[in-house]
Amino acid sequence: MADLAANQSGPGVVYLSDYTPPAYLIDQVDLHFDLDASATQVRTSLKVRRNPQNSQSNPALELDGDNLELLSLRLEGEPLDQSQYELGEDKLIIAPTESPLPEAFELIVETRINPAANTALEGLYDSGSMLCTQCEAQGFRRITYFPDRPDVMSRYTVTLVGDKSKYPVLLSNGNLVEAGETDDSRHWARWVDPSLKPSYLFALVAGQLVCQEDVYTTMSGREVVLRIYVEEENRHKCDHAMTSLKQAMRWDEETYGREYDLDIYMIVAVNDFNMGAMENKGLNIFNSSCVLASPETATDHDFYNIQSIVAHEYFHNWSGNRVTCRDWFQLSLKEGFTVFRDQEFSADLNSRAVKRIDDVNILRTHQFAQDAGPMAHPVRPDRYMEISNFYTVTVYNKGAEVVHMIMNLVGREGFRKGTDLYFARHDGQAVTIEDFVRAMEEANHIDLAQFMRWYNQAGTPVLKVDEEYDEQAQTYTLHIEQSCPPTPGQTEKAPFHIPLAVGLLDMQGDDLLLQLAGENAPGEARTRVLSITEARQSFTFTGVNHRPVASLGRGFSAPVKIQTGYDDEQLAFLFAHDSDEFNRWDAGQKLAMNILLRLIEQFQQKKPLILDDTFIHAFRKTLLNPRLDKALIAQALSLPSEGYIADQCEVVDVEAIFEVRHFMRQTLAFELKDEWLQIYEANSSDNPYAFSAEEMARRSLRNLCLGYLLETEEQAMFDRAMQQFSRANNMTDTLAALSMLANYAIPERHQALEDFYQKWQHDQQVVEKWLAIQAGSRLPRTLRHVKKLMQHEAFSIKNPNKVRALIGRFCAGNPINFHAADGSGYQFLGDQVLELDSLNPQIAARLVQSLSRWKRYDEKRQGLMKQQLERILDKEELSKDVYEIASKSLE
Ligand code: 0A1
Ligand code: ZN
């Protein structure tokens, strides 16, 4: 009999280096569900076979299980008695004593589960009028006993039996092959998925749903049925997702030569969901907030997001499903690559520069912060306690940047050659990040051995750049030094292979043709990608007859911090002239940051705050520049967020950051009042809503102006905002006005919030926005208000979207209130985490992260934050999810 002790010790750590191939493979899975909200019975038949890649002799068959009631077990038709298996907390181990397990056999397992009691929302659970599943990463083990690991790929047949009136629609992966009735009240459906898939891609949905249907003709001329299933009241909110799906299918054919493989593609919208969406084979399940949209209820941001998430899940069909991950350490293999693919898709369909700025903003504010804190981990972590904690900005967004860098190194065509080879070579396999990188190397005849460090070393590299101009020799040299700060468990870092895209601006602000020392003549290029591989390296440009200004890291060519020591004048010059739109924006942000940091010092020294005229002038020029894209103007004139400013400070001074940023906005508001008004008026429109780059740009610029105008706190401006709030024909403009008004203690605030709720109380997605706006208000009594809202009919602690909107927004998106000096925000967070831990550990663990960077604050706040972390760790039966984050935070 196998010894269970080794498998059952504590909230253990799983190591990448411990990977071994599974002892058994499962070729075929037949699942039979007798659906019932509180007692679903699952009969699973597994066709098991020894794995030739595992050399153990007579291994036991290890099955994972979590929260299951085992009803029966049969091997080759014979019931197993208790001496032939061992049942632990999270494992079922089959190891008959008399004879070894056969080379191949059938195992039938019956379990009972309770979807209604499943508040963790992993496995099979109850959401409103339906039953649905979430199996990534380890939810399938909450349905039946199974080797729940992605390198076990099987073919699935699923039979669903349920009450006709409660569950009129019965869905699973693949194709519907048969359906019928068992009696007057129950019916059934059988789905067969012809593809090989790991258990995390299994899905079922049963409920009262309606669907919108369309047809897509693939590049080889096959017809695919597309269906979006929603609850009746959301029937009118499917058009945008359907259009996005068809755009994504076409784009993947044109850009990567990837065609959809099944005859049907289904999306289901559910209200209770831990993440954004899930790429289950042929049956995507979406958080309703990431799929449903109408102009009256969704903002531009929602439309934009939905387009990219629908595409992301669709792209997974190749990058993730057909070629999947060998183990969960390889998560970025599918996620980094797929985020990269969805980013490119959005860039192609909308404004590329705006998309790049959005993506870099996310990376810099969230991922750089993660890299600098206790949860820092490499794009491919080498250990975890709870894999759900590793669905992070590092694995997703930095992972996408790493793929982006490969493209920068091999070029677009080379990249396509690499992906063609990767998909052809590994279709139907569960592989590693090395396999992906090897395909890129072999298709392009390059060596990416050093580049692999991006996957294995955590931390954000810093490039310190010094320049040297030799007037006589007409050379300009960049001396570049790279370093990377220590991160938990990694004190020393070896040099990274960094592609740095560089341009040189002459005195007029035009790009020079670039010629590196040793080259015969300047080429055509005005941007060159320098390959940095050493700790210290110099690059000399020749034929440079004036000291240029270097534009470094164009298009954000690598996820690094670049330190140049540029003064305000050089930054203002780049802000005005750089031909690279991303770097032009970036120069503006750096200029604003330098000013903010200087003002923070002034504030701390109790000196008067004065905003430099040149900055105001640069803002005016940008605002009034008719040649610039309006969306880029809006981005250029948005000051860095409080969170990002905090990351640039040695010790975070919450009040100083808040006050200085507010001072700067208010000064700009008064100084440029006429201009804000002029642009606000010039950009009004009565056109019906359109989701187009041009219209979105117009709205974003107009709402930026309104935001500044309100900072004057003049009644006329509040009236304007109220007018926009009540007259707008789309949610973008309505919500922009409402969220601005929510920051001022004026009667209009109350009225607008009240009217809004009255109008939208029956629409879940809109109510989430209403909660989030109030939780994000900078007004001093916000915490009290949030607590009151927790008692409101609109709130439920069991619904992740509501928790994210109210509690999450307050803790992670309202620094001045969350970090209140008396610790009330921290106490509130502690209370919520303790309550949520028993209900939904994934959501609780995400909340705790707001405490994890306590070392960055003053001593008093440090003490108060630590106190809450310790209090959380003291809870009995704390989930692994929360334990991992809280304990690492205190290390
Ligand atoms: N693979 C999904 C993300 C996801 C991960 C875990 C989930 O449940 C805990 C749900 C979704 C994606 O990248 O979209
Ligand atoms: Zn994904």
The domains of the chain, with CATH numbers, are 4-208 (2.60.40.1730), 761-891 (1.25.50.10)
Is it the case that residue 125 has pLDDT exceeding 90? yes
Residue 60 confidence class, pLDDT cut points 50, 70, 90: very high
Q: Mean pLDDT, to the nearest integer, of 159-167? A: 98
pLDDT at 34 over 60: yes
Residue 428's pLDDT is 98
The pLDDT mean for the chain works out to 97
Q: For the residues 89-116, what does the mean pLDDT come to? A: 95
> Does the CB atom of residue 332 touch ligand 1 within 6 A?
no
278 CA from centroid of ligand 1 (Å): 5
Answer whether 881 contacts ligand 1 (Cβ < 6 A): no
566, β-bridge pairs: none
In short, whether 136's Cβ falls inside 6 Å of ligand 1 is yes
Ligand nearest to the CA of 136: 1
Q: 278 in ligand 1 pocket by Cβ < 6 Å?
A: yes
Q: What does the pLDDT read at residue 2?
A: 33
pLDDT (tens digit, 9 = 90+) per residue, 502-529?
Answer: 999 999 999 999 999 999 888 899 999 9
Q: Which of 278, 339, 390 to mutate to test the pocket of ligand 1 (most atoms within 8 A of CB)?
A: 278
Q: What is the pLDDT of residue 98?
A: 80
pLDDT at 461 over 70: yes
- pLDDT tops 60 at residue 1: no
What pLDDT is stored for residue 11 in this prediction? Answer: 66
pLDDT of residue 4: 35
Query: Is residue 274 lining ligand 1, measured as CB closer than 6 Å?
Result: yes
Cα of 324 from ligand 1 centre, angstroms: 14
**Quick check: CB of 287 below 6 Å from ligand 1?**
no
Nearest to 703 by CA among 731, 667, 664: 731
Task: Report pLDDT digits (tens) over 663-703.
Answer: 999 999 999 999 999 999 999 999 999 999 999 999 999 99
Report the first-to-last Cα separation within the chain, whole angstroms: 39
Residue minimizing CA distance to atom 1 of ligand 1:
278
Please say if the pLDDT value at position 6 is more than 60: no
* Ligand at shortest distance from the CA of 277: 1
Q: Among the atoms of ligand 1, which is closest to the Cα of residue 334? A: 13
What's the CA angle centered on 757, arms 751 and 762, to 5 degrees? 165
Distance CA(493)–CA(482), nearest Å, equals 10
* Per-residue pLDDT at 3 exceeds 60: no
pLDDT at 441: 98
Pocket probe for ligand 1: among 118, 121, 132, 136, the residue whose CB has the most ligand atoms within 8 Å is: 136
Please state which of the ranges 6-10, 92-96, 98-102, 262-266 shows the lowest mean pLDDT: 6-10
pLDDT digits 0-9 by tens, 206-223: 999 999 999 999 999 999
Q: Please answer whether residues 229 and 280 qualify as being in contact, where contact means their C-beta atoms are separated by less than 8 angstroms.
A: no
Distance 6 CA to ligand 1 centre (A): 30
Look at residue 749 in the predicted model and tell me its pLDDT: 98
Please give the distance, rounded to the nearest whole angstrom, from the Cα atom of residue 776 to the centre of ligand 1.
26
DSSP reduced 3-state for 87: strand
C-alpha separations of 281 from 147, 176, 221, 585 in Å: 19, 14, 21, 40
Active-site annotation, residues:
313
> Which residue's CA is the closest to the ligand 1 atom numbered 5?
136
CA atoms within a 13 Å half-sphere pointing along the CA-CB vector of 887: 16
Contact 218, 249 (CB under 8 A): yes
Nearest to 139 by CA among 110, 118, 158: 118
Q: Whose CA is nearest to atom 12 of ligand 1?
A: 278
pLDDT over threshold 90, residue 264: yes
The pLDDT, as a whole number, for residue 485 is 98
Percent of the chain with pLDDT over 70: 99
Nearest ligand 1 atom to alpha carbon 391: 5
Pocket mutation for ligand 1, best pick of 391, 393, 397, 801 (most atoms within 8 Å of C-beta):
391
Cα separation, 706 vs 718, in Å, equals 9
Q: In b/e form, how buried is each residue of 379-415, taking b as 16+ CB within 10 angstroms? A: bbbeebbbbbbbbbbbbbbbbbbbbbbbbbbbeeebb
- Sign of the C-alpha dihedral computed for residues 413, 418, 424 and 430 taken in this order: negative
- pLDDT band per the 50, 70, 90 thresholds, residue 202: very high
- Here the ipTM equals 0.99
pLDDT of amino acid 96: 79
What is the average per-residue pLDDT within 370-376?
98
Any atom of ligand 1 within 6 Å of the Cβ of 335: yes
- Closest residue by Cα to atom 13, ligand 1, is 335
Q: Quick check: CB of 277 below 6 Å from ligand 1? A: yes
Atom of ligand 1 nearest to the CA of 313: 14
Q: How large is the average pLDDT for residues 608-629?
A: 96
By most ligand atoms within 8 Å of CB, the mutation choice from 133, 267, 275 for ligand 1 is 275
* Smallest-distance ligand from the CA of 342: 2
Cis peptide preceding 137, ω within 30 of 0: yes
Atom of ligand 1 nearest to the CA of 320: 1
